[in-house]
Amino acid sequence: MNALFSSTRTTGRYEAALGVALASLAFLSKDNPHLVLPECLWLFLLLLAASLAASVAVRLRPGKTMPAALALVASFVIVAGIQSKSGGADSDLWVLYLLPIFSAAILLGGRETAWIAAGAVLANAAGLASEHHALGAADVFSLVLKTTILAGGAAGTWALSKSEREVSAKAAGQRAEIERLEAVASVAVDGAGAIHDLGAPLTVILGYASMLREDQDLSAAVRDDMSHIERSARYCQELVRGLMTRRDPTMRARSASDLVESALRLCEDPVRARKIEIHRHFPLETVTVRAAGLELERVLVNLIGNAAKAMPSGGNIEVSVSLQGPRVIVSVEDDGPGLPPGLLPRLFTPFATGNAKTGGVGLGLYLCREIARRHGGDLTAGRSAAGGARFELSLPADGKTLAASSPALSERSR
Protein backbone atom coordinates (compact mmCIF):
# COMPACT_ATOMS: atom_id res chain seq x y z
CA MET A 1 0.00 0.00 0.00
CA ASN A 2 2.87 2.38 0.80
CA ALA A 3 4.45 1.63 -2.59
CA LEU A 4 1.17 2.38 -4.35
CA PHE A 5 0.80 5.63 -2.43
CA SER A 6 4.36 6.64 -3.36
CA SER A 7 3.73 5.76 -7.03
CA THR A 8 0.48 7.75 -7.09
CA ARG A 9 2.15 10.76 -5.50
CA THR A 10 5.06 10.61 -7.99
CA THR A 11 2.82 10.33 -11.05
CA GLY A 12 0.63 13.16 -9.80
CA ARG A 13 3.61 15.50 -9.54
CA TYR A 14 4.83 14.30 -12.92
CA GLU A 15 1.50 15.07 -14.61
CA ALA A 16 1.44 18.59 -13.18
CA ALA A 17 5.05 19.29 -14.23
CA LEU A 18 4.39 17.82 -17.68
CA GLY A 19 1.50 20.15 -18.37
CA VAL A 20 3.51 23.20 -17.27
CA ALA A 21 6.57 22.18 -19.34
CA LEU A 22 4.64 21.61 -22.56
CA ALA A 23 2.61 24.79 -22.15
CA SER A 24 5.86 26.74 -21.62
CA LEU A 25 7.50 25.25 -24.70
CA ALA A 26 4.44 25.93 -26.83
CA PHE A 27 4.41 29.56 -25.65
CA LEU A 28 8.15 30.06 -26.26
CA SER A 29 7.81 28.63 -29.78
CA LYS A 30 5.01 30.98 -30.85
CA ASP A 31 7.47 33.37 -32.61
CA ASN A 32 9.17 30.60 -34.58
CA PRO A 33 8.70 31.62 -38.26
CA HIS A 34 8.83 27.95 -39.34
CA LEU A 35 6.05 26.91 -36.97
CA VAL A 36 3.10 25.39 -38.86
CA LEU A 37 -0.18 26.06 -37.15
CA PRO A 38 -2.54 24.60 -36.15
CA GLU A 39 -0.77 21.29 -36.91
CA CYS A 40 1.97 21.90 -34.30
CA LEU A 41 -0.60 22.74 -31.65
CA TRP A 42 -2.42 19.46 -32.27
CA LEU A 43 0.87 17.57 -32.13
CA PHE A 44 1.70 19.25 -28.80
CA LEU A 45 -1.65 18.09 -27.45
CA LEU A 46 -1.05 14.60 -28.83
CA LEU A 47 2.38 14.51 -27.15
CA LEU A 48 0.77 15.55 -23.87
CA ALA A 49 -1.82 12.77 -24.30
CA ALA A 50 0.88 10.14 -24.97
CA SER A 51 2.85 11.20 -21.89
CA LEU A 52 -0.26 11.26 -19.73
CA ALA A 53 -1.17 7.81 -21.06
CA ALA A 54 2.19 6.52 -19.77
CA SER A 55 1.51 8.09 -16.39
CA VAL A 56 -1.99 6.63 -16.17
CA ALA A 57 -0.67 3.19 -17.18
CA VAL A 58 1.80 3.27 -14.29
CA ARG A 59 -0.90 4.47 -11.91
CA LEU A 60 -3.36 1.74 -12.89
CA ARG A 61 -0.86 -1.11 -13.27
CA PRO A 62 2.23 -0.31 -11.17
CA GLY A 63 3.87 -3.67 -11.82
CA LYS A 64 3.53 -3.55 -15.63
CA THR A 65 6.03 -1.40 -17.59
CA MET A 66 5.20 -2.38 -21.17
CA PRO A 67 2.06 -0.17 -21.68
CA ALA A 68 3.86 2.91 -20.37
CA ALA A 69 6.98 2.16 -22.42
CA LEU A 70 4.93 1.80 -25.62
CA ALA A 71 3.24 5.15 -24.96
CA LEU A 72 6.65 6.80 -24.56
CA VAL A 73 8.01 5.17 -27.73
CA ALA A 74 4.98 6.54 -29.60
CA SER A 75 5.99 10.02 -28.45
CA PHE A 76 9.17 9.74 -30.61
CA VAL A 77 6.99 9.83 -33.74
CA ILE A 78 5.07 12.81 -32.37
CA VAL A 79 8.27 14.75 -31.56
CA ALA A 80 9.60 14.00 -35.04
CA GLY A 81 6.36 15.41 -36.44
CA ILE A 82 6.72 18.56 -34.34
CA GLN A 83 10.27 18.99 -35.61
CA SER A 84 9.18 18.69 -39.22
CA LYS A 85 6.47 21.33 -38.66
CA SER A 86 8.82 23.76 -36.89
CA GLY A 87 11.96 23.98 -39.06
CA GLY A 88 13.13 20.37 -39.35
CA ALA A 89 16.63 19.54 -38.10
CA ASP A 90 17.26 23.21 -37.30
CA SER A 91 14.26 23.38 -34.95
CA ASP A 92 15.02 23.97 -31.29
CA LEU A 93 12.12 21.71 -30.42
CA TRP A 94 14.44 18.66 -30.61
CA VAL A 95 14.60 19.17 -26.85
CA LEU A 96 11.18 17.51 -26.72
CA TYR A 97 13.04 14.20 -27.01
CA LEU A 98 14.00 14.81 -23.39
CA LEU A 99 10.35 14.45 -22.44
CA PRO A 100 10.04 10.66 -22.93
CA ILE A 101 13.48 10.27 -21.31
CA PHE A 102 12.43 12.20 -18.21
CA SER A 103 9.13 10.32 -18.18
CA ALA A 104 10.88 6.94 -18.25
CA ALA A 105 13.30 7.96 -15.47
CA ILE A 106 10.43 9.12 -13.24
CA LEU A 107 7.87 6.43 -14.03
CA LEU A 108 9.85 3.32 -15.02
CA GLY A 109 13.00 1.43 -14.10
CA GLY A 110 16.63 1.86 -15.08
CA ARG A 111 16.55 -0.63 -17.95
CA GLU A 112 13.50 0.99 -19.51
CA THR A 113 15.07 4.44 -19.10
CA ALA A 114 18.21 3.27 -20.93
CA TRP A 115 16.17 1.87 -23.82
CA ILE A 116 14.03 5.01 -24.09
CA ALA A 117 17.14 7.21 -24.03
CA ALA A 118 18.75 5.13 -26.80
CA GLY A 119 15.54 5.38 -28.84
CA ALA A 120 15.43 9.17 -28.42
CA VAL A 121 19.07 9.49 -29.57
CA LEU A 122 18.43 7.29 -32.62
CA ALA A 123 15.20 9.12 -33.49
CA ASN A 124 16.96 12.47 -33.33
CA ALA A 125 19.87 11.18 -35.44
CA ALA A 126 17.47 9.69 -37.99
CA GLY A 127 15.70 13.04 -38.33
CA LEU A 128 18.99 14.82 -39.01
CA ALA A 129 20.19 12.16 -41.47
CA SER A 130 16.90 12.25 -43.40
CA GLU A 131 17.46 15.92 -44.26
CA HIS A 132 21.17 15.70 -45.14
CA HIS A 133 22.60 13.22 -47.61
CA ALA A 134 26.09 14.03 -46.38
CA LEU A 135 26.69 15.33 -42.87
CA GLY A 136 29.13 18.18 -42.56
CA ALA A 137 31.34 18.98 -39.60
CA ALA A 138 28.71 21.32 -38.15
CA ASP A 139 26.05 18.62 -38.47
CA VAL A 140 28.27 16.05 -36.76
CA PHE A 141 29.06 18.50 -33.95
CA SER A 142 25.35 19.28 -33.53
CA LEU A 143 24.51 15.57 -33.45
CA VAL A 144 27.21 14.83 -30.86
CA LEU A 145 26.09 17.77 -28.72
CA LYS A 146 22.44 16.74 -28.84
CA THR A 147 23.31 13.11 -28.12
CA THR A 148 25.39 14.18 -25.13
CA ILE A 149 22.55 16.32 -23.79
CA LEU A 150 20.01 13.51 -24.22
CA ALA A 151 22.27 10.89 -22.63
CA GLY A 152 23.27 13.25 -19.83
CA GLY A 153 19.65 14.14 -19.22
CA ALA A 154 18.78 10.46 -18.97
CA ALA A 155 21.61 9.72 -16.52
CA GLY A 156 20.96 12.78 -14.37
CA THR A 157 17.21 12.34 -14.19
CA TRP A 158 17.53 8.64 -13.41
CA ALA A 159 20.02 9.34 -10.61
CA LEU A 160 17.71 11.93 -9.05
CA SER A 161 14.66 9.71 -9.49
CA LYS A 162 16.45 6.73 -7.96
CA SER A 163 17.52 8.83 -4.99
CA GLU A 164 13.95 10.02 -4.45
CA ARG A 165 12.63 6.47 -4.67
CA GLU A 166 15.14 5.30 -2.08
CA VAL A 167 14.17 8.14 0.24
CA SER A 168 10.47 7.34 -0.29
CA ALA A 169 11.07 3.65 0.39
CA LYS A 170 13.00 4.49 3.56
CA ALA A 171 10.22 6.81 4.71
CA ALA A 172 7.63 4.11 3.98
CA GLY A 173 9.68 1.63 6.02
CA GLN A 174 9.90 4.08 8.90
CA ARG A 175 6.14 4.65 8.76
CA ALA A 176 5.57 0.89 8.86
CA GLU A 177 7.96 0.55 11.81
CA ILE A 178 6.16 3.35 13.68
CA GLU A 179 2.81 1.65 13.03
CA ARG A 180 4.26 -1.65 14.25
CA LEU A 181 5.63 -0.05 17.43
CA GLU A 182 2.31 1.67 18.07
CA ALA A 183 0.52 -1.67 17.70
CA VAL A 184 2.99 -3.34 20.09
CA ALA A 185 2.56 -0.49 22.58
CA SER A 186 -1.22 -0.86 22.39
CA VAL A 187 -0.95 -4.58 23.07
CA ALA A 188 1.46 -3.87 25.94
CA VAL A 189 -0.98 -1.46 27.58
CA ASP A 190 -3.88 -3.88 27.23
CA GLY A 191 -1.67 -6.74 28.37
CA ALA A 192 -0.57 -4.84 31.48
CA GLY A 193 -4.19 -4.44 32.50
CA ALA A 194 -4.91 -8.12 31.89
CA ILE A 195 -1.80 -9.14 33.86
CA HIS A 196 -2.90 -6.98 36.78
CA ASP A 197 -6.34 -8.60 36.79
CA LEU A 198 -5.00 -12.18 36.57
CA GLY A 199 -3.57 -12.15 40.08
CA ALA A 200 -6.88 -12.63 41.92
CA PRO A 201 -8.28 -15.58 39.92
CA LEU A 202 -4.90 -17.32 39.99
CA THR A 203 -4.85 -17.09 43.78
CA VAL A 204 -8.35 -18.63 43.90
CA ILE A 205 -7.31 -21.45 41.54
CA LEU A 206 -4.22 -22.18 43.61
CA GLY A 207 -6.19 -22.20 46.85
CA TYR A 208 -8.88 -24.60 45.63
CA ALA A 209 -6.35 -26.86 43.86
CA SER A 210 -4.22 -27.10 46.99
CA MET A 211 -7.24 -27.77 49.21
CA LEU A 212 -8.65 -30.46 46.94
CA ARG A 213 -5.24 -32.11 46.54
CA GLU A 214 -5.19 -32.68 50.31
CA ASP A 215 -8.68 -34.23 50.34
CA GLN A 216 -8.10 -37.92 51.02
CA ASP A 217 -11.67 -38.81 49.98
CA LEU A 218 -10.76 -38.06 46.34
CA SER A 219 -9.20 -40.67 44.10
CA ALA A 220 -5.48 -40.62 43.40
CA ALA A 221 -6.15 -39.72 39.76
CA VAL A 222 -8.14 -36.62 40.77
CA ARG A 223 -5.45 -35.57 43.27
CA ASP A 224 -2.85 -35.92 40.50
CA ASP A 225 -5.00 -33.67 38.33
CA MET A 226 -5.17 -31.14 41.17
CA SER A 227 -1.38 -31.26 41.43
CA HIS A 228 -1.09 -30.54 37.74
CA ILE A 229 -3.53 -27.61 38.02
CA GLU A 230 -1.61 -26.25 41.00
CA ARG A 231 1.72 -26.54 39.20
CA SER A 232 0.38 -24.78 36.11
CA ALA A 233 -1.24 -22.04 38.19
CA ARG A 234 1.99 -21.42 40.10
CA TYR A 235 3.82 -21.15 36.80
CA CYS A 236 1.33 -18.52 35.63
CA GLN A 237 1.54 -16.74 38.98
CA GLU A 238 5.33 -16.50 38.72
CA LEU A 239 5.02 -15.09 35.22
CA VAL A 240 2.50 -12.50 36.39
CA ARG A 241 4.63 -11.56 39.42
CA GLY A 242 7.71 -11.12 37.24
CA LEU A 243 5.86 -8.96 34.73
CA MET A 244 4.20 -6.82 37.37
CA THR A 245 7.34 -6.13 39.41
CA ARG A 246 9.57 -5.86 36.28
CA ARG A 247 12.42 -7.13 38.40
CA ASP A 248 15.58 -8.48 36.81
CA PRO A 249 15.63 -12.17 37.82
CA THR A 250 18.90 -13.59 39.04
CA MET A 251 20.66 -15.71 36.45
CA ARG A 252 21.40 -19.17 37.79
CA ALA A 253 22.67 -22.42 36.34
CA ARG A 254 19.93 -24.83 35.34
CA SER A 255 19.99 -28.16 33.58
CA ALA A 256 18.80 -27.81 29.98
CA SER A 257 17.17 -31.24 30.19
CA ASP A 258 15.31 -30.23 33.38
CA LEU A 259 14.04 -27.10 31.64
CA VAL A 260 12.67 -29.24 28.82
CA GLU A 261 11.05 -31.71 31.25
CA SER A 262 9.41 -28.89 33.19
CA ALA A 263 8.02 -27.42 29.96
CA LEU A 264 6.76 -30.85 28.87
CA ARG A 265 4.90 -31.27 32.17
CA LEU A 266 3.18 -27.92 31.61
CA CYS A 267 2.22 -29.00 28.07
CA GLU A 268 1.03 -32.41 29.21
CA ASP A 269 -2.69 -31.79 28.56
CA PRO A 270 -2.54 -30.62 24.89
CA VAL A 271 0.01 -33.32 24.14
CA ARG A 272 -2.07 -36.07 25.70
CA ALA A 273 -5.37 -34.82 24.22
CA ARG A 274 -3.92 -34.96 20.69
CA LYS A 275 -2.25 -38.37 21.21
CA ILE A 276 1.16 -36.95 20.41
CA GLU A 277 4.31 -38.93 21.11
CA ILE A 278 7.25 -37.08 22.63
CA HIS A 279 10.74 -38.28 21.70
CA ARG A 280 13.49 -37.07 24.02
CA HIS A 281 17.15 -36.97 23.04
CA PHE A 282 19.20 -35.86 26.04
CA PRO A 283 22.93 -36.17 26.72
CA LEU A 284 23.99 -38.53 29.52
CA GLU A 285 25.87 -35.76 31.27
CA THR A 286 24.14 -32.73 32.71
CA VAL A 287 24.35 -29.79 30.33
CA THR A 288 23.56 -26.50 32.05
CA VAL A 289 22.68 -23.00 30.93
CA ARG A 290 22.25 -19.80 32.89
CA ALA A 291 18.57 -18.93 33.02
CA ALA A 292 16.59 -16.07 34.51
CA GLY A 293 13.54 -17.30 36.39
CA LEU A 294 10.96 -19.05 34.23
CA GLU A 295 11.80 -17.21 31.02
CA LEU A 296 13.48 -20.10 29.19
CA GLU A 297 10.74 -22.42 30.39
CA ARG A 298 8.28 -19.99 28.84
CA VAL A 299 10.09 -20.23 25.51
CA LEU A 300 9.99 -24.03 25.52
CA VAL A 301 6.32 -24.09 26.55
CA ASN A 302 5.54 -21.91 23.55
CA LEU A 303 7.55 -24.06 21.13
CA ILE A 304 6.14 -27.38 22.37
CA GLY A 305 2.61 -25.97 22.61
CA ASN A 306 2.80 -24.62 19.04
CA ALA A 307 4.01 -27.99 17.77
CA ALA A 308 1.10 -29.72 19.52
CA LYS A 309 -1.44 -27.27 18.07
CA ALA A 310 -0.10 -27.94 14.59
CA MET A 311 -0.99 -31.64 14.91
CA PRO A 312 -4.62 -31.93 16.13
CA SER A 313 -4.85 -35.52 14.86
CA GLY A 314 -1.66 -36.71 16.49
CA GLY A 315 1.97 -36.94 15.51
CA ASN A 316 5.49 -36.84 16.89
CA ILE A 317 7.53 -34.14 18.60
CA GLU A 318 11.29 -34.56 18.81
CA VAL A 319 12.95 -32.63 21.64
CA SER A 320 16.73 -32.76 21.83
CA VAL A 321 19.46 -31.18 23.93
CA SER A 322 23.05 -31.15 22.72
CA LEU A 323 26.31 -29.37 23.42
CA GLN A 324 28.00 -27.90 20.34
CA GLY A 325 31.20 -26.21 21.38
CA PRO A 326 30.37 -23.29 23.69
CA ARG A 327 26.65 -23.43 22.83
CA VAL A 328 23.78 -25.52 24.13
CA ILE A 329 21.28 -26.35 21.40
CA VAL A 330 17.70 -27.21 22.31
CA SER A 331 15.66 -28.20 19.27
CA VAL A 332 11.91 -28.84 18.99
CA GLU A 333 10.69 -30.37 15.74
CA ASP A 334 7.50 -32.07 14.63
CA ASP A 335 6.13 -34.02 11.66
CA GLY A 336 3.11 -31.75 11.20
CA PRO A 337 2.23 -29.63 8.15
CA GLY A 338 5.18 -27.28 8.59
CA LEU A 339 5.27 -23.50 8.48
CA PRO A 340 2.91 -21.76 6.00
CA PRO A 341 4.59 -20.66 2.75
CA GLY A 342 5.84 -17.11 2.90
CA LEU A 343 5.66 -16.92 6.71
CA LEU A 344 9.26 -17.92 7.50
CA PRO A 345 10.95 -14.59 6.53
CA ARG A 346 8.68 -12.65 8.92
CA LEU A 347 8.02 -15.39 11.48
CA PHE A 348 9.68 -13.58 14.39
CA THR A 349 8.16 -10.16 13.69
CA PRO A 350 5.23 -8.96 15.79
CA PHE A 351 1.76 -10.06 14.66
CA ALA A 352 3.06 -12.59 12.12
CA THR A 353 1.05 -15.75 12.71
CA GLY A 354 0.06 -18.89 10.90
CA ASN A 355 -2.60 -19.69 13.55
CA ALA A 356 -5.01 -16.78 13.12
CA LYS A 357 -7.96 -19.21 12.83
CA THR A 358 -7.12 -20.68 16.24
CA GLY A 359 -6.73 -17.31 17.94
CA GLY A 360 -3.01 -16.72 17.40
CA VAL A 361 -1.98 -13.05 17.38
CA GLY A 362 1.63 -13.48 16.30
CA LEU A 363 3.45 -12.31 19.45
CA GLY A 364 4.57 -15.62 20.99
CA LEU A 365 7.55 -16.34 18.76
CA TYR A 366 8.59 -12.69 18.70
CA LEU A 367 8.72 -12.65 22.52
CA CYS A 368 10.47 -16.03 22.60
CA ARG A 369 13.28 -14.79 20.40
CA GLU A 370 13.61 -11.63 22.52
CA ILE A 371 13.97 -13.80 25.63
CA ALA A 372 16.57 -15.98 23.91
CA ARG A 373 18.57 -12.91 22.90
CA ARG A 374 18.41 -11.49 26.43
CA HIS A 375 20.08 -14.73 27.50
CA GLY A 376 22.84 -14.26 24.94
CA GLY A 377 21.34 -16.77 22.52
CA ASP A 378 18.97 -16.89 19.59
CA LEU A 379 15.94 -18.69 18.23
CA THR A 380 15.73 -19.84 14.62
CA ALA A 381 13.16 -21.77 12.59
CA GLY A 382 13.17 -24.03 9.56
CA ARG A 383 11.84 -27.26 8.13
CA SER A 384 12.29 -30.55 9.94
CA ALA A 385 13.54 -33.74 8.29
CA ALA A 386 9.98 -35.11 8.52
CA GLY A 387 8.54 -32.12 6.68
CA GLY A 388 7.19 -30.30 9.73
CA ALA A 389 8.56 -27.32 11.63
CA ARG A 390 11.88 -27.20 13.45
CA PHE A 391 12.82 -24.58 16.04
CA GLU A 392 16.31 -24.33 17.43
CA LEU A 393 17.11 -22.49 20.66
CA SER A 394 20.81 -21.69 20.95
CA LEU A 395 22.19 -20.58 24.33
CA PRO A 396 25.63 -20.02 25.87
CA ALA A 397 26.67 -23.06 27.85
CA ASP A 398 27.44 -22.64 31.52
CA GLY A 399 31.20 -22.70 32.09
CA LYS A 400 31.08 -26.00 33.96
CA THR A 401 29.70 -27.85 30.95
CA LEU A 402 31.96 -26.54 28.18
CA ALA A 403 34.02 -29.73 28.19
CA ALA A 404 31.05 -32.09 28.37
CA SER A 405 30.92 -34.62 25.57
CA SER A 406 28.92 -37.85 25.70
CA PRO A 407 26.51 -39.93 23.64
CA ALA A 408 22.86 -38.92 23.71
CA LEU A 409 20.18 -40.70 25.67
CA SER A 410 16.95 -41.17 23.70
CA GLU A 411 13.54 -41.75 25.25
CA ARG A 412 10.01 -41.83 23.98
CA SER A 413 6.84 -41.05 25.89
CA ARG A 414 3.24 -40.28 25.16
Q: What does the mean pLDDT of the chain come to?
A: 76
* Start-end of CATH 3.30.565.10 domains in the chain: 253-413
Give percent of the chain with pLDDT exceeding 90. 12
Q: Is it the case that residue 290 has pLDDT exceeding 50?
A: yes
Question: Which residues are CB-contacts of 413 (< 8 A; sequence separation ≥ 6)?
Answer: 277, 278, 280
Residues in the chain: 414
| 355 or 351, greater pLDDT | 351
Question: Distance between CA 225 and CA 229 in Å, rounded?
Answer: 6
Determine whether domain 253-413 maps to CATH 3.30.70.260. Answer: no
Q: Which residues pair with 382 in a beta bridge?
A: 390
Classify residue 205 by burial, with Cβ atoms within 10 Å: 0-12, 13-18, 19+: middle
To 5 degrees, how large is the angle CA 54–CA 59–CA 63?
90
Task: Return the pLDDT at 278.
Answer: 92
pTM for this one?
0.48
Q: How confident is the model at residue 13 (pLDDT cuts 50, 70, 90)?
A: low
| 5 or 156, greater pLDDT | 156
Is the distance from CB of 4 to CB of 55 less than 8 angstroms? no
Closest CA to 308 of 348, 279, 268: 268
Q: Is it the case that residue 112 has pLDDT exceeding 90?
A: no
Q: Mean pLDDT over residues 4-14, rounded?
A: 47
Q: Is it the case that residue 150 has pLDDT exceeding 60?
A: yes
Q: Which of 54-63, 85-94, 123-132, 189-198 has the lowest mean pLDDT?
A: 189-198
Task: Return the pLDDT at 389.
Answer: 92
3-class DSSP assignment, residue 288: strand
Question: Distance between CA 103 and CA 15 in Å, rounded?
Answer: 10
- Cα-only R_g, the chain: 35
